[in-house]
Structure 1
Amino acid sequence: MAVAAAQELDELCYLSAQAMGSLTVSEHFHVIKLLGEGSYGKVMLAVHRKRGSPMALKFFPRESTTLASFLREYNLSLSYCTHPSLTRALGIFFSTPDYYVFAQQAGLYGDLYSVIVSEEGMEEERIQRVMAQLSGAVTHLHSLGFVHRDIKPENIFLCDSSCRWVKLGDFGLARAVGSTVRAVWYESPFCTPEVGPAKEAEKEWERRQEEGTEEEMEDTWITVEPGIDSWALGMLTYCLLTGCFPWEESTHDDRRYRKYEEWFEIERAHDKTDCYAIMEERYRENPPPSQFHGIGSLAMALFKELLNPEPKQRGSPEEILSYLGGPWLLGSEREQRRRAQEAQKEAQKVSETGGLKDELLREGKGER
């Protein structure tokens, strides 16, 4: 399927290249404000002058963007992003003297990054709403043979202020499953452990340059797998729960990541189907690293699925759905347990009172 999807996308790009025209933005759109910008270019909120409909115009500088990469992102968003939590292109694409431009659905309430409170995160109910939607969106994308490869708060757009409807966007790095890409190292927890060799190669190349060795740096290549997105979803979940990240980079150079990997190796021996009560008991013997101390057993089980150092053994985005509904933070887990114990005591009290009433009724009947 992945090969077929890649070939179909290439064909769509070829056909759309023949139909691409030039427009003057001001003649067809009323540009309202800047929604966001980055290395790719910028996104502007605009209203179509004839239709009166709001939309986001994504501008790609022609001097730094190839036509092929522009058309790939446009056609992928237009033809494959049919899930309600994927940002979809609107069928309008054109060029100006300085930019390639296409129109897409607008997230009028900003991005997810703007509502995360530093060192605090978000409310659990909102977090689970967000992750449920992203689970479906990414699962849909994978089913069509593509991996997003750039899931992060800045690429998740809000359609309302309560996160009841979010959309994953920015498909510039999306590639077909099984394709080979150059491994690019960057210092971020979203960068997967399997890209670590690229960092080592870069360090070796820098060392040789200091020694005066004149040679080009050899590229490190990796295969695009769905586990890349699973890792990013795990990182996103932690970020939403805590307002920070568990480590700075996913290599042994990072002490906090190294501690996590050591803990994970011990946990690997246990069956993932262990019930949460058993896991909670086991965590007393093998406590998670300190950065996870506020996380409940249900969320830790989810992290074991998504943040598996081995890419081929990571859980799929769809498995997030199995962990919804229960508490993800230790404090709310304890509160739920306290309420359950109180309810159990109350039920027992009612049961005992009911039994006493029955006994009194029987004695009364005997006296008569």
Structure 2
Amino acid sequence: MLQIQATAAKELDELCFLSAQSMSSLNVSQHFQMVKLLGEGSYGKVMLAVHKKQGTPMALKFSPRKSTSLTSFLREYNLSLCYCTHPSLTRALGIFFSTPSYYVFAQQAGLYGDLYSVIVSEVGVDEHCVQRVMSQLSGAVTHLHSLGFVHRDIKPENIFLCDRSCSWVKLGDFGLTRAIGTTVRAVWYESPFCTPEVEIAKEERQSEEIEEEEKEDIWITVEPSIDSWALGVLIYCLLTGCFPWEESTHDDRGYHKYKAWFDREAEKEDKTRKVEWRDKEDFDGYTIMEENQRDNPPPSQFEGLSPLVMTLLKELLHPEPKHRGSPEEILSYLGGPWLVQTAREEKRKAEEAENEAKKIREKGGVEEEILREGRGER
């Protein structure tokens, strides 16, 4: 695996070098018909366009030359073109060029907007839709990790819709994607998606005791656990229409409550390993999860989430990056209830089905007794 990752990173560097030799300049209006603005930010802008000769719709990503290095532009373009072969990764279309003000490349267009546009505030998205989306993202991110890359910017705005029902989504925007093992500046940004292990960067920057010129850059190693954290926050966001905390720092109230709950869970698990207080084979996994949640109720912001998804979040949102679960683990939690309301409804339906089956069995027993009496059997 390490060899594959190193090879992919080296190949990407070589592709960037070669493509730099063939960069051409184009007049955008001569070749493309601009349709509408799809997105805009510090990175530049993305326009929905149609190729005038071919009639093909595509998204053109414009990166300002003043703030974007040619190397970073070509890295994103070549990574999207050559490595994003999973159906839930946005792929470049082989068109790249420059203008006097921008570097530009073409990619598959998400014609139905992004995931952020369908999240209802304080409500979220339909539970089945959430599981459908996360199933696709699990595969996409796992594929990216297997090639040796970490996305580093998973959020609703970077997940694009290929239809209105979220049956097909694509993760895009690879501007921050880097090879596993690469060292990058630990820049703290105020967001629930920012991992807690780089909080030291924020504290260092805000420290008044150190003179500005004496401050040193803090570097962190790029690891897949960064994406696992973001996927955990995304699951919460989709299920609730909110964020679990504003930022993952010790002085954020929401994160502090979660961390305290997590620590109690970890302590309880340690005790359970030491004391075999029950034969777990006699209990199904969901029953054990329910009992654990009763013993240590999750923080108030997690109210309404089922024990099943809380167990998954505990894996993905592990404060220690080396113990964080992988995106692939999401697949093990699909199919079961992720909301308490769904769990109750499923339990009610199961009880009704069992009662109906019991009635049928009892009726069958009575009919058998009548037949026996008719045959003179006792």
So what's the TM-score if we normalise by structure 1?
A: 0.96
2:170 aligns to what SS in structure 1? strand
Q: Relative to 1, partners in 2 of residues 1:117 and 1:361: Cα closer, same or farther, differing over 3 Å?
A: same
Q: What one-letter code is carried by the residue in structure 2 that aligns with 1:18? A: Q
2:367 aligned with 1:361, yes or no? no
CA distance in 2, matches of 1:178, 1:367: 80
Q: Relative to 1, partners in 2 of residues 1:295 and 1:44: Cα closer, same or farther, differing over 3 Å?
A: same
Q: Relative to 1, partners in 2 of residues 1:358 and 1:55: Cα closer, same or farther, differing over 3 Å?
A: same
Of 91, 98, 114 in structure 1, the residue corresponding to residue 117 of structure 2 is: 114
Q: What one-letter code is carried by the residue in structure 2 that aligns with 1:219? A: D
**What do you get for the CA RMSD once the two structures are aligned?**
1.6
Deviation digits for residues 48-100 of structure 1 (CA, Å, limit 9, x no counterpart): 11111100000011111110110010000001000000000000000001110
Aligned to 1:208: 209
Deviation digits for residues 12-33 of structure 1 (CA, Å, limit 9, x no counterpart): 0000000000000011111111
Q: What one-letter code is carried by the residue in structure 2 that aligns with 1:240? A: L
1:121 aligns to what SS in structure 2? coil
Q: CA deviation at 1:367?
A: 8.0
Q: CA deviation at 1:218?
A: 1.7
2:173 aligns to what SS in structure 1? coil
Deviation digits for residues 113-157 of structure 1 (CA, Å, limit 9, x no counterpart): 000000000001111110000000000000000000000000000
Is this contact kept in 2: 1:61–1:100, CA < 8 A?
yes
Aligned to 1:259: 257
2:129 aligns to what SS in structure 1? helix
Unaligned 5+ runs, structure 1: none
Q: Relative to 1, partners in 2 of residues 1:297 and 1:100: Cα closer, same or farther, differing over 3 Å?
A: same
Q: CA deviation at 1:266?
A: 2.0
Deviation digits for residues 260-309 of structure 1 (CA, Å, limit 9, x no counterpart): 11111222242899812111012111111111111001111110110111
CA distance in 2, matches of 1:359, 1:220: 81
2:355 aligned with 1:352, yes or no? no
CA distance in 2, matches of 1:92, 1:283: 52
Q: What one-letter code is carried by the residue in structure 2 that aligns with 1:255? A: R
Q: CA deviation at 1:214?
A: 5.4
CA distance in 2, matches of 1:214, 1:227: 31
1:238 aligns to what SS in structure 2? helix
CA distance in 2, matches of 1:356, 1:244: 55
Of 23, 26, 36 in structure 1, the residue corresponding to residue 26 of structure 2 is: 23
1:315 aligns to what SS in structure 2? coil
Is this contact kept in 2: 1:2–1:178, CA < 8 A?
no
Aligned to 1:40: 43
CA distance in 1, matches of 2:42, 2:337: 38
CA distance in 2, matches of 1:347, 1:334: 20
CA distance in 2, matches of 1:174, 1:330: 36
Of 308, 313, 320 in structure 2, the residue corresponding to residue 303 of structure 1 is: 313
2:375 aligns to what SS in structure 1? helix
1:352 aligns to what SS in structure 2? helix
CA distance in 2, matches of 1:293, 1:244: 12
1:357 aligns to what SS in structure 2? helix
Aligned to 1:66: 69
Moved more, 274-283 or 310-319: 274-283
Q: CA deviation at 1:208?
A: 3.2
Aligned to 2:294: 284
Deviation digits for residues 192-214 of structure 1 (CA, Å, limit 9, x no counterpart): 0111111111121xx137xxx45
Q: Relative to 1, partners in 2 of residues 1:214 and 1:288: Cα closer, same or farther, differing over 3 Å?
A: closer
CA distance in 2, matches of 1:343, 1:126: 26
Of 302, 317, 321 in structure 1, the residue corresponding to residue 327 of structure 2 is: 317
Is this contact kept in 2: 1:21–1:94, CA < 8 A?
yes
Moved more, 265-274 or 242-251: 265-274
Percent identity of the aligned residues?
Answer: 74
2:90 aligned with 1:80, yes or no? no
Aligned to 2:196: 193
2:342 aligned with 1:337, yes or no? no
CA distance in 2, matches of 1:13, 1:216: 35
Q: What one-letter code is carried by the residue in structure 2 that aligns with 1:285? A: D
CA distance in 2, matches of 1:232, 1:24: 38
CA distance in 2, matches of 1:214, 1:167: 42
Q: What one-letter code is carried by the residue in structure 1 that aligns with 2:209? A: R
Q: CA deviation at 1:217?
A: 2.5
CA distance in 1, matches of 2:180, 2:21: 27
CA distance in 2, matches of 1:333, 1:150: 32
Moved more, 357-366 or 225-234: 357-366
Aligned to 1:326: 336
CA distance in 2, matches of 1:276, 1:203: 45
- Give the count of matched residue pairs: 363
Aligned to 2:234: 236
Deviation digits for residues 155-213 of structure 1 (CA, Å, limit 9, x no counterpart): 00000000000000000000000111100111111000111111111121xx137xxx4
1:101 aligns to what SS in structure 2? strand
Aligned to 1:226: 224
CA distance in 1, matches of 2:331, 2:145: 16
